[in-house]
Structure 1
């Protein structure tokens, strides 16, 4: 009877853990609708650590792995890397320390994404190391969130690792992941894949044609898929092309378009728009430094 009681207790606990994991896996929707980025900045670390704690009990919970990969990626970009960029002009050492922290957070996110892909496809990570193209070929449309968050986090870490040749050497893996995601479901999450590819195309090795033209096509598709209600495509394209080509008027026009979007018009993307608009304002305030003839 005691053994049966213990088994029942363990079963109840496991059920409770699974239910909490299910709830946390969906908590990003609540965060995404919030109108106070500073509140989310303060709350996110506790939520992320709780996710990690639950993953110790349910290590193969796909929803929780995806949410944790996405959560760390978004937190690192919105609240660590962006703040490092803003701090650089006044405190270079602090900015460098924050970028190092952002890199570590991105790699943490990448590892959760890879774990999720391994759960869905046994041995995926090892296969990716051996032959990226062949590894991603087994992915299906249901894998797109894992493919995206893994590629986004990994690419962001690489962008902050100019002194890490081993990490830079992982670029073919990130490219295989994001290209497979786009091939499977290019419209996923209202054009998020295209928004990522806006900047990626400008750095892609061996791409066909003019990288700025490829970037422009992704920008236009991202705007179409988002109904023009997302600020991120405008900010990404402004930094990717007009900034690099020293076109201040176009740069300003795109960022003003990003700022003009009403975050409340689409509550499910309110936080993402507020974060992107913050970057737009910061970039507009630096035009004298970014352009020879602003």
Structure 2
């Protein structure tokens, strides 16, 4: 295994002499996985979408290998949850949007299935991650009250907020990619409750992303809870000072779309495009937001559900 290269034969011989090779290997592997998690934030500073896509796709394979070697390592489970959720949203879903806008129905359907499958995999690892804190997820997901009770009883540490954020993000993302699946849509509340618990523990994780997600959720239709949507979007903007552009992107395409307010919809999207480099540590998420803002302004197909001018 590559992570053992360079270890001196003297050290290995000594380890074998005391019968501790298994512990040494595990310690080395756990250390590598922790280092990978600690260093993974660097990817978010990338400025080029194409390069980031290549990095994300290549990185998935490495993370899967780490998990195979250390199936109980929670850092690996977290990284896989986040990586599959991020890849599905940032890149695979982008393939769907390109095909959909071009009217390539077969390609769009294919990439939609890929998006759902990516979120499925993120959820698989995410649920496994949560199980290292508490058993009983399958029983708890019966309804909103039971999942809420389970989350509040078992997830009480600030450090758990980020785990919950990515699991909830993946759950809601899968529903978005499979809107025709009534069973999945009927379990949207699971992802919503997970995100709610995340922001209760630490609302500032990922620059207030939990509030942005709930803002989008509460504006899912024109008949939804638009006052709640606005409160969450405004709180996210307070936290990130408008520097995390996904907040403005979703504020425009969710809330102002539902309100049929084209002026503010376009205004926020133009603000996204005009932003230079407001948050270097979230440069890649902002690149993705700019890419989508340009797309949503440039083709009327993305505004059909907004009812502008009707």
Q: Same fold (TM over 0.5)?
A: yes
Q: Does 1:139 align with 2:155?
A: yes
How many angstroms apart in 1 are the aligned matches of 2:18 and 2:87? 40
Please, which runs of 5 or more residues in structure 2 have no aligned partner?
1-12
Contact 1:230 1:261 in 2 (8 A): no
Write the deviation string for residues 191-220 of structure 1: whole angstroms up to 9, x where unpaired: 11111111111239xxxx972221111111
Contact 2:164 2:194 in 1 (8 A): yes
Q: Does 1:231 align with 2:238?
A: no
Give the corresponding residue for 2:63.
51
1:11 positional shift: 3.0
Give the corresponding residue for 1:191.
208
Equivalent in 256, 267, 270 of residue 256 of structure 1: 270
Give the corresponding residue for 1:63.
75
How many angstroms apart in 2 are the aligned matches of 1:210 and 1:52? 39
Query: Matched residue pairs, number?
Result: 288
1:51 positional shift: 1.0
1:292 positional shift: 4.7
1:142 positional shift: 2.2
CA distance 1:37–1:253, change in 2 (3 Å): same
How many angstroms apart in 2 are the aligned matches of 1:269 and 1:105? 22
Equivalent in 275, 278, 282 of residue 291 of structure 2: 278
Give the corresponding residue for 1:244.
258
How many angstroms apart in 2 are the aligned matches of 1:111 and 1:142? 21
Q: Does 1:160 align with 2:172?
A: no
How many angstroms apart in 1 are the aligned matches of 2:211 and 2:122? 20
1:27 positional shift: 3.5
Write the deviation string for residues 41-92 of structure 1: whole angstroms up to 9, x where unpaired: 0121221121111112222222222121111111111101122112213211
Q: Does 1:83 align with 2:125?
A: no
CA distance 1:258–1:19, change in 2 (3 Å): same
1:25 is paired with a residue whose SS is: helix
1:228 is paired with a residue whose SS is: coil
CA distance 1:85–1:72, change in 2 (3 Å): same
Give the corresponding residue for 1:116.
129
1:188 positional shift: 2.2
How many angstroms apart in 1 are the aligned matches of 2:167 and 2:197? 12
CA distance 1:289–1:231, change in 2 (3 Å): closer
How many angstroms apart in 2 are the aligned matches of 1:226 and 1:63? 26
1:274 positional shift: 0.6
CA distance 1:289–1:113, change in 2 (3 Å): closer
Give the corresponding residue for 2:140.
128
Write the deviation string for residues 113-150 of structure 1: whole angstroms up to 9, x where unpaired: 111111122x1423433421221112122221121111
Contact 1:118 1:125 in 2 (8 A): yes
Give the corresponding residue for 1:14.
26
How many angstroms apart in 1 are the aligned matches of 2:62 and 2:24? 19
